[in-house]
Structures are given as C-alpha cells and as structure tokens.
Chain A
C-alpha cells in the first residue's frame, strides 16, 4: 500500500539540544504503528513534527504525497490529521458535548462562520451524540470539561480526535497517568471506539505494552531521539535492546 506519512531525515532541536535526530519512517495507509521508547526518547517531539506543532529543524514531512513540512497544524488537521496530546488538551470552559461539537464541525471541513448558528447542524449534533455513546460519555454530556477526572479527559480527547473521522489518528500515550485497571478499561474503550474504522491509519506512542499488543501491528523503538529498532510487537518486546533500554525505568514496558 502507498505510504500516507513519510519522514525523511527529520530532526528537531530545542535551543541547540537535539531531541530527535535523523528519523526516517514510512507509514502505510491503514497501518497501526506504535512508537515506544524510554522517557525523553523523543516520541512526543516526533509527534509534534508530524502534526505540525513543531517545525522540524531538519528533514521533510510528507503527508498523502504532499510536502507539509512548513504547513501549520491547522492545515494538517484540515487535510485529515487528528491528534491527542500526552496531557489531554480540551476546551476547559466548554461542556463535553460542545468540545465534541467543535471537533465534529471542524472535522467536516465546515468553515467557521459568523452567520452560521451553532444550534443548526443537526447532522453534526447527531454525530456528537453517537460519539458520546461510543465513548460512554453520554452521562457526562453537560459536564464542564475542566471538571472531568483524568480518565474521562483522555477518553474525551480521543473521542474528539475520532469524531473528526481523520485519515490518520495520532495518539500520544492514550493511557498515560492511569492506574492499571483504568488503563485496561481505557484500552478496551479505545478498541471499541475504533471498531469498524479499519481504514483509519493510527500512530500511537505508549509505555504500556498492553496497549501496544492490542492495537499495534508494527512497533518502532526510539532512544535518544533516534529509531533503534523496528518489528512486530512481539519481536520488539522480546529484543535485547528493548530490555536493556527499559531496565532501570521501573519496568514501564514489561
């Protein structure tokens, strides 16, 4: 299958200190890829260069055959890229429903207009209702996002990304900051939300091997800003390098 995202020699430094160096990566359409690596390996930074929050210091990012290296994140979003952040970003003063509405509306590539009433858009509101059911957020529909617990914040952010029906979904640590049981529940929830969306390309980062085994087909291991290993989840998990890297990191990826 043709690649949907291509990274060529991508690097990013913060004030001269490299966080990501010379990453080359191809992601096929419909593929489900996990990026793992110890803390500070550069996973989130790499996400930022793909989604457009950071402009890479070196290299090129291609999305769907187009060079998007210099495109803003809003342009990339409109071209079909949706993401979540490691620490969930929501609209805190809006309700769960309005957060999802904003996502669903922009996902439809509907322009934002002065004369376009929020209360219209029946089909968008219906999509929002369905998204709340799929993500078990219906009961919290009118709760303000700032009042949500950690798990619900993560779930809402994922629901927002998914309701946009992106061509590619970027999930930065979908279970970060959760306890073991919450993480299991969230993984099951995420799998359900992705049901019947086999054509959606997914890149996710995770420390949690459970998430990786249940969602990813291919794994890329990063360390010190570079890709050091690639393979199936099993291959990578059992590799010497992985074990060595994760020793002393509290066994985060057991």
Chain B
C-alpha cells in the first residue's frame, strides 16, 4: 500500500484505499468462514464507524460522547424505511440514513457548538440519551423490542442470503465510504479541520470560518456513522435501543484511541482490534467485558498515540535520541478550543 501511495496518480485519487479494500474483500473469505467471517463483517462496519468518529475527534479535535446517537439513528432509519416499504433498495436506505443523521447533526451542532470543550461533550451525551429514551417512549419505535427481520433488506433486487454475500456487500459499502473520507482528509476542507484542531485562533485569523468547519465535520462524521449503524443493523437483522447507549459511544472513542488518530489508518486498526478482542474474550471468559476493558486500558496507557505511533517509537528507540517533533506525542483530539473564542463568537 505504501509503495502504491508514492505514485502520484494513485495517491491523489486514493486508489490505494480502494485497492486495499478489494484485496481484503477477496482474501478474507479464503481464510475465514461462518461466524469468523461474520466477525470480520462486523469489524468492517466498525472500521467505518471509527473512521467517521475520527473526523470529529481526531481531525477536528472535538470530543463527542454521543456518537451512538448517529450510529443508532442510521439503524432506526433503515428499520423504519424497511417497515414502510420492504421493496426499497438497501442502498437508497443507506443514503437516506446518512442524510437524516447529517442534517440532524448539523442542526444540533449549530446550537451545541456555542459551548466548548466539556460542555459540548456533555451535550452530545445528552442527545444520545434523549434518543435512547425516545425509543421507549415513542410507540412506533417499539421500545426494547426494536425491529426485526432486517435480513430481508433488498440489495440489487434480493435479500442477502449468506455470510459471504453479507461480507462482500459490507466491504463494498465500507470501502467506498472510507475512500470518500480519505479524499476528504486530503482536501482543503480536511486540512482546515486539522488547522481548527491545532489552533482555532490562528485558523480564524487566517480567514477560516471555525464554526462552519466544525459543523461540517460534525455532520460528515454523523452521516458516515449512520451508514455504519445501518450496516450493523442489516448484518444482525435487528435494531434495538442498545445501539444508542453510552457503551457504544465510549467503545468507538476507545477504538480511535487504541488505533491512534494521528494517521488515517489508526481508527481502522483500532476498530479491528476492538471487535476481535471483544469476540475472542467472550468465547473464553464469562464476564468478558471486564477483560476487554482491562486489555484496552493497558493498550491506551502503554501506547499513548495508539498503534500508529508504534513505528515512530521503535525508530526513535533505535536511534536512542528521537528527533525533535517525532517524539512529541500527537495531540489528543479533545478540547483544544479556548473558551475565550466562544465569548468572542469566533468559534
């Protein structure tokens, strides 16, 4: 992948990302089948969820404790569409789910971004909790029951009928979405997000509309999180309030942290590690969540900067004295914006 990346045409269009996903799509079924392939399918949906979360948390430096709101919103949107019209194409449902979440997120962010740092994080948490409550209070959201039978969603004319078909479908959708996000990361808008994270005052002083960049990042992050949620709903066949819980919001941040957000591929690695450790642990231990939690804690503490910081660390150790700048830990995405900016309405 890195060799391919050097070719200008490839790196500009992000072809290496698409080629990477195509390769993974073809190789995995040769190595895995049945429930293991299904775990990979789940992991890939989480790869999209983690990358989408990183747009906000890693690239733009905004901490959200409510990513589950959009993940769940995608799943519920798909379920409701399927209930209304079982003949509707699954791809159309994904697009609608993304639009719904994107618009809700943009409206929410316009209001919530008047606060900063911790307050913003709390507001996102409140949003997710409110949606979670609504699933119990609103009749047509079916409470704990949720929705069933989403296996039936039509893809290219018919429902998916095997783990293998689900695998190909999920990799294709995730591959295209991650590719779009990769292009975004290489666009001037992606660069502006990084600028806003690094120093919102400097960004504003150059003429970047800080609030607009943040709202866009929030909307994009939500839209792609919704697609991930809808993919999970399709794979598991069910949608339930569990998708809107804080556990989900927390786990996706953990995925970003263990992978590291300083490189595009970080959250991709983080999501795979998270899903596989959850699956393997639950096969071994009864109270697996505790062990998963401990494992992740150890990774986060032992590897600040996540897995993507590993090569730099190893190189630094070999040279004994790491070069300046390389040794500097990447900034944790959270809470970089100054409170003063809010007062002045810059942010």
Using a CB–CB distance below 8 Å, which chain A residues touch chain B?
Answer: 51-55, 72-75, 77-78, 82-83, 85, 89-94, 98, 101-103, 105-107, 109-110, 112-119, 121, 143-144, 146-147, 160, 164
Q: Does B315 contact A (CB under 8 A)?
A: no
The majority secondary structure among interface residues of chain A is loop
The answer to whether A116 and B204 touch across the interface, beta carbons within 8 angstroms, is no
**What residue in chain A is nearest B185 (Cβ atoms)?**
A118
Known: A102-B195, A144-B328. A118 touches B202 (CB 8 A): no
Answer whether residue B139 sits at the interface, using C-beta atoms and an 8 A cutoff.
Answer: no
B198 contacts chain A at the CB level, 8 A cutoff = yes
Q: Are A94 and B195 in contact (CB under 8 A)?
A: yes
Would you list 27 pairs from A and B whose C-beta atoms are within 8 A, ordered by A residue?
A53-B204, A53-B346, A72-B204, A73-B205, A73-B344, A73-B346, A74-B207, A74-B209, A75-B207, A77-B205, A78-B207, A82-B206, A89-B205, A93-B331, A94-B198, A102-B206, A105-B188, A106-B206, A110-B188, A112-B208, A114-B187, A114-B216, A117-B183, A117-B186, A119-B11, A119-B186, A147-B323
Bound complex: CA A121 to CA B187 (Å): 11
How far apart are A95's CB and chain B's nearest CB, in angstroms? 9
Q: Is the CB of B190 within 8 A of A91?
A: no
Given A53-B201, A72-B204: A91 and B188 within 8 A (CB)? no
Whether B205 and A91, one on each chain, are in contact in the complex, defined by CB atoms closer than 8 angstroms, is: no
Chain B interface residues (CB < 8 Å from chain A)? 11-12, 183-184, 186-192, 194-195, 197-199, 201-210, 213, 216, 262, 323-325, 328, 330-331, 344-346
In the assembled complex, the CB of A47 is this many whole angstroms from the nearest CB of chain B, namely 11
Contact across chains for B201 and A106 when beta carbons are under 8 A apart: no
The residue from B194, B205, B208, B328 contacting A82, defined by CB atoms under 8 A apart: B205
CB distance from B62 to the nearest CB of A (A): 16
A102 and B187: CB pair below 8 A? no
| Alpha-carbon gap, A54 to B346, bound state (A) | 9
Contacting pair A89 B201 (CB below 8 A): yes
Once the chains bind, are A147 and B188 in contact (CB under 8 Å)? no
Q: Cα distance A82–B208 when bound, in Å?
A: 12
Question: Would you call B188 and A112 a contact (CB within 8 A)?
Answer: yes
Closest-by-CB residue of B relative to A104 is B206
Q: Is the CB of A106 within 8 A of B331?
A: no
Provide the residues of chain A in CB contact with B184, threshold 8 Å: 114
Q: Is the CB of B199 within 8 A of A91?
A: yes
Complex Cα–Cα for A55 and B192 (A): 24
Question: In the complex, what's the smallest C-beta–C-beta distance from B302 to chain A, in angstroms?
Answer: 22
Cβ contacts under 8 Å, B187 to chain A: 113-118
Bound-state CA distance A209–B278 (Å) is: 66
B190 contact set on A, CB distance < 8 A? 118
Contact across chains for A112 and B192 when beta carbons are under 8 A apart: yes
B residues less than 8 Å from A92 (CB atoms): 198-199, 331
Question: What CA separation (Å) do A164 and B190 show in the bound complex?
Answer: 20
Bound-complex Cα distance A114 to B187 (A): 6
Known pairs A55-B345, A91-B202, A109-B207; list 13 more (Cβ under 8 Å).
A53-B344, A72-B209, A72-B346, A74-B208, A85-B202, A89-B201, A112-B192, A112-B208, A113-B187, A115-B187, A118-B188, A143-B325, A164-B207
**Residues of A contacting B216 in the complex (Cβ-Cβ under 8 angstroms):** 114
Q: Which residues of B contact A55 (CB under 8 A)?
A: 344-345
8 Å CB contact of B192 from A85, A102, A164: A102
Q: A53-B344, A53-B346, A54-B344 are in contact. Are A116 and B188 (CB under 8 A)?
A: yes
Asked if residues B204 and A73 are in contact (CB atoms below 8 Å), the reply is yes
Task: Specify which chain B residues have a CB less than 8 angstroms from the CB of A54 in the assembled complex.
Answer: 344
Does the CB pair B198–A93 fall under 8 Å?
Answer: yes
